[in-house]
Structure 1
Amino acid sequence: MGNTSSMLTQYDIEEVQQHCNGACETILPFPPFLALIADEISQQEIVSLYQRFCQLDRNVGGFITAEEFLSVPEFAVNPLSQRLLRMLDTLNFKEFVAFLSAFSPRASLQQKIEFIFKVYDSDCNGKVTFSDMMAILRDLTGQFISEKQREQVLAHVLEESGYTKDAALSMSDFMKILDNSDLKMEVEVPVD
């Protein structure tokens, strides 16, 4: 796609759609089903995302760095932004679209849960432990609740789902716990 300051061609748009139809897994640490399928992202959305990508790519290097991501106020104040940045290094435009796919209103609940699993699985061993979940709770709650309260809440959630504090949750275990939740994880792509 060349220089980020250039305009997207029809070929570039179709290439991004194709890339997000399953090729993303070779670049990003996400499973293939996290990628948007071609009919879920419109050409107009790709153009809008490209414009935003170019705004964020301040160095005009063809990729977005962690510092450039943190220039987005909503991302910078997110308590999980540092965890998300650890999942990424730098993103080119195709990877940028694939990353945002989990936040699409058209992404399935399974896609969203799988993305969240990757955020929780900080050591990338395919398991989420009690300590992994506690770390996320600390990030999310800050000093609003005590460590003991966090432990009690988390132990209760696990117990209600049939797990103990000693459990190392696989993706399927994690799905079982979150499958019945009313998970809201969406970012609207403004289309001009």
Structure 2
Amino acid sequence: MGATHSASEEVRELEGKTGFSSDQIEQLHRRFKHLSGDQPTIRKENFNNIPDLELNPIRSKIVRAFFDNRNLRKGPSGLADEINFEDFLTIMSYFRPIDTTMDEEQVQLCRKEKLRFLFHMYDSDSDGRITLEEYRNVVEELLSGNPHIEKESARSIADGAMMEAASVCVGRMEPDQVYEGITFDDFLKIWQGIDIETKMHVRFLNMETIALCH
């Protein structure tokens, strides 16, 4: 974190940018150093030995999300080769619990940012839509550990969920009308009324965060 004086200034700056307290920043910095092997940046391979991710069926998507330029607020598409500590905090800020002192507008903004992170995990080609194929891919990965569910069954589950999404977001569709995919606005409608904080968790950080849907 640098020399004592500069480090304290850096921490104050990071508090303002991310909303984390100085104690949380110090804790996350220790975790960052552990993940990076005490190097200044983390690469994808640094996530290989995290026990809580090892058995997660969508592990690859979770790791990819950490390097997604959209989540890093560095561009509309593409992946970073590595992330530094400030990038790491940017990603972790999506998982920060909603502060009880927030007003309703702030709560909704915070919730929207959490859902945007999740949307980016599903929208793998960064085109602004979760297509049927992208949704099938996620469902197949989620159910890959269940020996009783075959690939075709997983695809049927995905197809049914996509039809339900279309009915929620578009309403009654004409026989020849095609639902091209879930936009972010659609995604917000689908998640309306669902407490996202109970659907997301990141245990491997060893701190009280909310975090990753599966």
- The question of a shared fold, defined as TM-score above 0.5 by the shorter chain, is answered with yes
2:135 to 127, 133, 136: 133
> Is 2:72 the partner of 1:55?
no
Identity of aligned residues (%): 26
SS in 2 for 1:61: coil
The separation in 2 between residues aligned to 1:143 and 1:93, in whole angstroms, is: 33
Q: TM-score, normalised by structure 2?
A: 0.68
**Any gaps of 5 or more consecutive residues in structure 2?**
68-80, 99-106, 209-214
2:122 aligns to what?
A: 120
Q: TM-score, normalised by structure 1?
A: 0.75
5 Å-filtered alignment, 1:84-123, equals 84-87=62-65, 88=67, 89-106=81-98, 108-123=110-125
1:35 aligns to what?
A: none
Cα contact 2:53–2:59 (8 A) shared by 1: yes
Structure with greater Cα Rg: 2
Q: How many residues align?
A: 168
5 Å-filtered alignment, 1:7-156, equals 9-20=7-18, 38=19, 41-58=20-37, 60-87=38-65, 88=67, 89-106=81-98, 108-142=110-144, 144=146, 145-156=149-160
The 1:18–1:130 alpha-carbon spacing in structure 2 relative to 1, beyond 3 Å, is same
Code of the residue aligned with 2:94 in structure 1: it is A
1:25 aligns to what?
A: none
Cα contact 1:57–1:63 (8 A) shared by 2: yes
Q: Which has the higher contact order (CA 8 A, sep 6+)?
A: 1
